[in-house]
Amino acid sequence: MQPLCLIEDIDEGDARGFNLNGSAIIAIKKQGELYLYQNSCPHRGINLEWQPDQFLDPDRQLIQCASHGALFLIESGQCVQGPCFGEHLKPIKFSVQDKQVLVELPDTLLSPNPQAGND
Ligand code: FES
């Protein structure tokens, strides 16, 4: 488990993006519950946001991908509208100890990123 942030770093009803050792993670707090997912849209495998920490729809009830507008349930990560309908954001295992959010990154996120700039 690795420390990600403090629980109070995420406001109620809001979302934040984190980069932990090169792994992009989103954290959402809704009704006191915390939800963590890999920041990767199932449609194209790219980050969900265009603007920092902008992960929610205008009503702040769903996670929204900025690229093609896919909408995901905060509680399950399931896509309920958009090109990846029925697919899921990948959850991140975590625990909270002494207000510290600790995450367990999956092996796929720990391996070196093969993407390299070509220009
Ligand atoms: S990349 Fe997210 S909806 Fe297309």
- Is any ligand 1 atom within 6 A of the Cβ of residue 79? no
Ligand 1, atom 3, lies closest to the CA of: 68
Look at residues 41, 35, 5, 40 and name the one whose alpha carbon lies nearest to residue 20.
5
Query: What's the mean pLDDT in 47-57?
Result: 97
Whether residue 12 is contained in a domain is answered as yes
- Is any ligand 1 atom within 6 A of the Cβ of residue 67? yes
> In the block, which residue shows the tokens 């420390």?
3
Q: Domain residues for 52?
A: 2-110
- Asked whether 56 and 63 are in contact (CB, 8 A), the reply is yes
Q: Give the global pTM.
A: 0.90
The rounded radius of gyration (Å) of the Cα atoms in the chain is 14
Q: pLDDT (tens digit, 9 = 90+) per residue, 62-115?
A: 999 999 999 999 999 999 999 999 999 999 999 999 999 999 987 766 655 544
Query: What's the mean pLDDT in 3-20?
Result: 96
Whether residue 115 is contained in a domain is answered as no
Whether residue 67 is contained in a domain is answered as yes
pLDDT of residue 17: 98
Burial class (CB in 10 A: 0-12, 13-18, 19+), 5: middle
Domain count, the chain: 1
Q: pLDDT (tens digit, 9 = 90+) per residue, 69-80?
A: 999 999 999 999
Q: What is the CATH classification number for the domain harbouring 105?
A: 2.102.10.10
Q: What confidence category does residue 50 fall into, taking pLDDT thresholds of 50, 70 and 90?
A: very high
Whether residue 56 is contained in a domain is answered as yes
Q: How far apart are CA 7 and CA 29, in angstroms?
A: 9
- Is any ligand 1 atom within 6 A of the Cβ of residue 68? yes
Whether residue 117 is contained in a domain is answered as no
